[in-house]
Structure 1
Amino acid sequence: MIVGYARTSTTEQEAGLSAQLRDLEAAGCDKVFREQVSSVDREARRELEAAIDYVRDGDTLIVTKLDRLARSVPHLLEVIDGLKAKGATLRILAMDIDTGTPTGKLMVSVLGSVAAFEREIMLERQREGIAKAKAEGKYKGRKPTAQAKSEEVLRLLGEGHGATEVAKLTCIARASVYRIKNGGDAAR
């Protein structure tokens, strides 16, 4: 059986998900698991876990691109090992790689390492850019969300709502509600 897995990081990426589903259908997938969740949040990737649980001996799990499956090399190798233990293989369409072959296994490991390296370099550059901007006085950080909601928080508290309820209604931390209530720095 050919099992597909499609993922986008956010629900706003409908076009990306549609393209993956189209490619997986063209590859002959009998069943497709899909989700819209960040690859960083491995705990929330329930459909990936379901796809791996679903495959059986002789099946192939197909993804369109490597980054749709795993963000890190250890996670990639964990997925491949899980599939191998079940007698299944992994195929990545964009690279025409199949872990059912020795060359495919090597290529996935190398490409996973390169992807992890690129991400680390990007994060390093981002940190350097932020440090430079801070030194030049140009970096302000993100806009404080609690401070912008202080009037609403005070109104809700004045209406008799409790701090926990106000925090839920305004989508800010309960500690921020207390800071606003006590006249402290609401920007934290």
Structure 2
Amino acid sequence: MKYNHLISLLLLTLSLNCFSQTKPEREHRIKKSQFPSLEFEALPLEDAKKLRYYKEVDSSKTTYTLKFRKRKMHYHIDFNEKGTIQKTGFSVSEVDIPTDTYANINSFLRENFKQTKIKYIQQCYPGTSDDVLKNTFQNLILPHNTYKLMFRGKKSDEREDFIAIFDAEGNLIKIAMALPANYDRVLY
């Protein structure tokens, strides 16, 4: 009797922690004037088309993304608030990934999901190297690049969207559920 209140309080506290959620990230389009001043003024954008600027707000950081099309390829360059490059990349298809790497990715998807449908694949380069822009625009396959997949997977009866990041060998680095599209602009 003496410890009933203590045990019930402890169970209540543990149950509240179980239902807490992390703040999801959300990306939205912004104007060029809201984009930070860039550290690299020599970005090779002379023949780029469809330049778009985005801001992604996460629980821990803010990322600015420049998306554009150049020579029929869709590129993206991620910056921090100071204008330093964090990550670059471009969209690829299954045939552009090395065979062994795609076999490892595909085996992971088959083992963990009943059905999958890949929405897009991006080949990404970390922004820490000095020649990150050269590597990105030359489409080099390096040991430190990663592949970001967005896919719809079916584990039980319900289909859900996931974002997974794989290393250059096809080993899983991170997987997370993707948020649904933001339809705030639609009025009913």
**TM-score bracket for the superposition, by shorter chain length:** under 0.3
Normalised by the size of structure 1, how large is the TM-score?
A: 0.26
Higher strand share: 2
Structure label with greater radius of gyration: 1
Higher helix share: 1
TM-score between both structures, scaled by the size of structure 2: 0.26
